[in-house]
Every structure is written in C-alpha cells, then in structure tokens.
Structure 1
C-alpha cells in the first residue's frame, strides 16, 4: 500500500472537490476514533479552512481525552484548523425525555436513542457547514459504509463527501501511522461511542474488522456452505448485516404513479 501517494491523492481530491463546489473548506466531527482522526488530518492538509467539532453526549472520559489531544495536535501543526466543543448532552437528554415511549432497557428503544445521538451530531455539523459555506466530510470506511452498514442513516451517514470510503479499516490504520496520528487513537478499540455502556464495534457486530474484510472479499464468489467453523460464523454475520443495510445505501424508493392516473 503506497500510503504517501494515497494521502496525496485524497488531499488533492478534497481540494479539487471543494474548489469545484465553491466551498470554503470542511467541517469534520472528531470522536477520538481512528477514522475521524485520519479524515480531519487529511482535510487539514489541504490548507483550506477546516473546522473540527468535538460533540460529546454522555461521552466516556478516554474518548474525550483522545479527541481533545488529537484536536490540540491538529491546531499545533495546521494554522487553518479551527476547533469547537459543542456539548450535546443536555440537548440529547431533553430529546430523550420528550420522545420516550417505553422501557429504556428494550433493545430497539436503546438503539433508537443511540442513533439519535448520531443524528444530533449530524445536525450540528451541518449548522456549522451552512453558516461557514463548507462541506461536511464523512468519516466512514469501506467495510462500514458498503459492507455491514455500521453507520446511522441520516446520522454519521449524512455527509457531503467521503474521503476514506474506498479504504478498508485496516488500510485506514496504515494511513493513520503514515499521518503520525496519536498512538492512543491507533491502539484504542474501535467504538461508535453511542452507548452509555462500553461497547466496542466488535462487541456489537460479533466480528473483528479484519474478519469482516475477509468476508467482504469472498462474499460475491461464495455461499455460507463453502465454509466451516469461525469462517462460517463470520460469513453469516457479514451476510446478515449486509442484507439488512441495503436500505441505507440504495436510493429512497419512490412510488411511480401510472401515467393514465395522472390524466
């Protein structure tokens, strides 16, 4: 993997896209995770104004610490970076109190609240983007965006551009090392940070990213009957998530009205 060349390619792509869109720069949400650290650094390297937002909602202390350290490093190395902390905890709590219709221990209710956190952050990112005439840069990678759909529809999936969506998670880690991302971020277990409990991505999905990338690479050429043991289990996990995520990436269904009914 030619990390330096890929970095240059993405930075140029970001710059060209912003210029063609007549955008002044980028807005990126920073969570303390590997993907947002890489994307915010790539955006900063364009030299265009880059706003990085930390948006905690009942966030764990280690996640906050990693996000703030990364932001401090960005500001130290890039004069075009502007940072803001928007604590959305009270906003989320008000929303949760207003819409709560059931037992918070129920899985679907908890999942709805987790997704609500992501959607509140999307609203905040677009507020800054519209006020400043900027683009919201997404932080999704290939296996999340096109493999298992591990993102929130109209949440972190609601973006203008996706700089790393053609890179697998393991490739994002390789890029992070080339970009000198803080080692605490590189070593931290991936998490979406949307739950009060400590839930890693692996806890939620049931497979590691290297395992999911393997399943993604063989998915179109094989069936579950081709595998046994752990490979069969991982293939099944990938298949279940991949089928369930199609509504996230396919166009919104439009009811086509027969022409004769419109006369």
Structure 2
C-alpha cells in the first residue's frame, strides 16, 4: 500500500465532503482502539474542528487510559482538536432498570452490548447536531463488509466512513505512519461492549489476518472444498458471518406498492 498517498487521499476526501456538505467539522467516538484512533487522526489532519468523544460504560481501565493518551497526543499535535467525556454508565443502568426482564441471559447480554453502542451513537449525533458537525465512522473493510462485526444503528450509524475501504492490516499500517500511540497499535482489538476482557478474536473465533485471507478467498470464488483443517475452519467462520450479517450490509428492504394499488 502506498501509505502516504492513501493518507492524503482520505484527508482530501474528508475535506471535500465537509466543504460540500457545508458543515463545520467532525465528531469521532474514541474508544482506545486502533480504528477510532486512526479515524480521529485523519479528521484532525483536515484542519476542520475535530471533537473526540469518550463515552465510557463500565469501561476497562486499560481502554480508558489508551483513549485519553491518544486524545492528549492529538490535542498537542493539532490546534483544531477538542474533546469531551460523556459518562454513559448511569444512563445504561437506568435503561436496564426500566426494560422488561427475560430468562434468556445470552440474548440479554448481546442486546445490552448493542444497547451500549446505540447509546453512544445517540450521544455522537447530539454533539454533532449542536455543533454542526458530521459523525465520522470508524469501521474498517473486514468489519463493515466482511463479517459485519458492528452494531446496526450503533457504531454503524454514521454520516461517512473514511476507513471502510481499508483492511485491518492497512489500518495498522496507516496508523503507524500517522504516529498513533504505540500502546494502541499493540493492543488486542476489542469492541469493549461486554464489560470484560474478551477480544474481537475471542468473539469471532479468528484473527483479523485470518479473516482478511478468507475475504480474499471468497472474492476469488473459492469454496469449502478448497481447504482443510484450520483454513477450512476460518473460511467457514467468515462465510457464516458474512451470510447472516448481510442485513447490515445491504440497503433497508422497502415494500414497494404496485402502482395499480395506488
């Protein structure tokens, strides 16, 4: 990858989009992960005001520390960067206390994980609305168009997606070039939605390098018959997630009414 060219291209794309949309800047949810660190850095380099938002909900201390380190570094490097911390823990707890109880703990855990992401999306749009900013998405290509590893109308609810055509490995390459803190570059990827130490790989069952490989294999028309052992296992994981998460990747279905019914 021509890293410098890619960085320049994304920065120009962001600037052009903001100018054409006649908005004042960008808002980015910063989690302490590599994707949000890269996205916020790219937004900062446009020269437009960039608001970095921390939104902890029972967050692990390591994630909070990395997020704060990154934001501090950005503010030192760029005069156009500001930050705000919105602690959503009490809001999340209030939500838990008012929704109906259910016996299915597995479904509750997943629904509440997605609720965290949707509370954060609502917060970002509130801040974007009062400032005249755009919400910049932080999803990469493998997550957004490969396995659908994001929350619909949560971290998937954004105005524009500057890094969604980058594989995870390319995100790391670009992050290193743009001097994202090393603590973030070496940290295990995690969505931080369950309030424990599970990583993305723990949840998915495969690493991002493996998922990138599987995505490439599917694009080349390969099938399960072409693989064995670990490669077959990874390919099955990828194709299953790609299939069941298509509802996140395709436009919302619209029931079209025949003209002779109107």
| TM-score category (smaller protein) | over 0.9
Q: Distance in 1 between matches of 2:97 and 2:223?
A: 45
Q: Distance in 1 between matches of 2:261 and 2:141?
A: 42
Q: Distance in 2 between matches of 1:107 and 1:238?
A: 22
Q: Distance in 2 between matches of 1:107 and 1:183?
A: 35
Q: Distance in 2 between matches of 1:3 and 1:259?
A: 51
Aligned position for 2:174: 175
Q: Distance in 1 between matches of 2:49 and 2:170?
A: 26
Structure 2, gaps ≥5 residues long: none
**Aligned-pair CA distance for 1:208:** 0.1
Aligned position for 1:43: 43
Aligned position for 1:252: 252
Structure-1-length-normalised TM-score = 0.97
Aligned position for 1:114: 113
**Aligned-pair CA distance for 1:259:** 2.4
Q: Distance in 1 between matches of 2:166 and 2:254?
A: 31
Summarize deviations over 1:75-115 as a string: whole Å, max 9, x none.
11111011000000000010111114224x72111000000
Helix, strand or coil for the counterpart of 2:152?
Answer: coil
**Aligned-pair CA distance for 1:261:** 2.4
Q: Distance in 2 between matches of 1:76 and 1:131?
A: 25
**Aligned-pair CA distance for 1:258:** 2.3
Helix, strand or coil for the counterpart of 2:51?
Answer: strand
**Aligned-pair CA distance for 1:260:** 2.6
Q: Does 1:26 align with 2:26?
A: yes
Structure 1, gaps ≥5 residues long: none
Q: Distance in 2 between matches of 1:121 and 1:244?
A: 24
**For residues 194-233 of structure 1, what are the structure 2 equivalents within 5 Å?**
194-220=193-219, 221-233=221-233
Aligned position for 1:128: 127
Q: Does 1:5 align with 2:5?
A: yes
Aligned position for 2:59: 59
Helix, strand or coil for the counterpart of 1:115?
Answer: helix
Q: Distance in 2 between matches of 1:225 and 1:118?
A: 37
Q: Does 1:73 align with 2:73?
A: yes
Summarize deviations over 1:148-205 as a string: whole Å, max 9, x none.
0000000000000100000000100001110111111001000001012211000000
CA RMSD of aligned residues (A): 0.9
Helix, strand or coil for the counterpart of 1:79?
Answer: coil
**Aligned-pair CA distance for 1:133:** 0.7
Aligned position for 1:188: 187
Helix, strand or coil for the counterpart of 2:251?
Answer: coil
Q: Distance in 2 between matches of 1:216 and 1:173?
A: 18
Count, aligned residues:
261
Helix, strand or coil for the counterpart of 2:27?
Answer: strand
Summarize deviations over 1:20-55 as a string: whole Å, max 9, x none.
000101000000000000000000000101100000
